[in-house]
Structure 1
Amino acid sequence: MNKLNKDSIEILFDRLSDKFKNPKSELDFNNNFELLCAVMLSAQTTDKAVNSVTPSLFKIAPNAKAMSLLDTQVIENCIKRLGLYKNKALNLKKMSNELVTRFNGLVPDNYDSLVSLPGVGSKTAKVVLNVGFKQNTLAVDTHIFRVCNRTGLCIGKTVKDVEKNVVLKVPKDHLYNAHHYLLLHGRYVCTARKPDCENCCIKDICKKNLD
């Protein structure tokens, strides 16, 4: 598959920005700690599912200190409707302990510190930096990986391949919102099984349709 040229990439992001105006995370949270927890919980499940369990959790643990003091079983009971809930509960407990002991209970605003926390990978760190700290980062999940490869925006065999190169291709004026543009397009239009190509705003430049 050929890659999109610079002019086509500009068109792609201009159109996605028109379609998804003022995009924001679909996770519910009140502060950066709750955001970090919610993103950690969203692994291999939907934002809707996460939003269904976090109110009870955040009611008793709205900050790192409160979460660190909870018994792991209590965290499990709050999130047990999610897949991998036991492992996720353990990671929330460990992550909160680390925030308290190393960062005065505050979520750090840099990538290296975030990924040093238990249960926090590259994708989670970049989402938190983008959504919570308004930084120009682009986290690559399955939706974004699919859109990048299908359209020809950024071809890569693995998520890491795409994550390493896609930021270099995004026009600077769209970089802050690029994560949400691609995510929402993949979630609601360029879906895995039945992409809605007929109603796609970039169908005329998408390499999937032109190959």
Structure 2
Amino acid sequence: MTAPALLLLAHGTADADGRATWERLLASVRHALPAVTVGLAYADVVGPTLAEALSSLPGPVVVVPAFLASGYHVRVDVPEQLAATGRDDVVVAETFGPDPRLVGVLLDRLAEAGARPGDTVVLAAAGSRDPGAQDDLRTAAALLTARVGHEVPVGYIAGGEPRVASVVASAASRGPRVVAATWLLAPGAFHRWLADAGAAVVAEPLGDHPDVVAVVLARYEAGVSAGAAAGVGA
């Protein structure tokens, strides 16, 4: 029996570095799953859209939403777009975050950027007004808090309050340096804006780190199991 296809669904970006990051992640997933058809679609900004990508993938398909929280796109856009296709052989897996493996990636990215023991860490996230997404972010911050040994405050880059710059300024009283852990998957405008937030170190996004690939595989495998249990594509 042919394994279900995997469709990685990213937010979408017009940023060249961001697109390159998604392409590298796609290549890594394909390398890890040589017997599986693996594709990439975008929920917004650029194509291919979910419907366009699914049109070239015979079922069954597991869609893996590459989002760090279950916000509007995941809860509303994806189900609506999927319903519009009329497909009944597609399973939508869980989102990426918050996952403890990704918190490990945050620490790796901080170390690569030059963070040191004793630095005060803040978590920089895109931000969302969606309650579910905010809950996921608080969980990620709690996981990071447990790893670094001090409470990690959250700052928003674009949506919501408090903004990263304000959080960095407040955290400066805790120690000599404040460093920003970047809760983003790929580079783009949001990551560039962090350069002006006042942190001594700004980590790179999670990107195509091996543990990000591992999360993709785990979500896919869980989606395959869920689909089999529900008889999707049978």
TM-score, normalised to structure 1's length? 0.25
**So what's the TM-score if we normalise by structure 2?**
0.24
**Greater per-residue helix proportion:** 1
Which structure's residues are more often strand, by fraction? 2
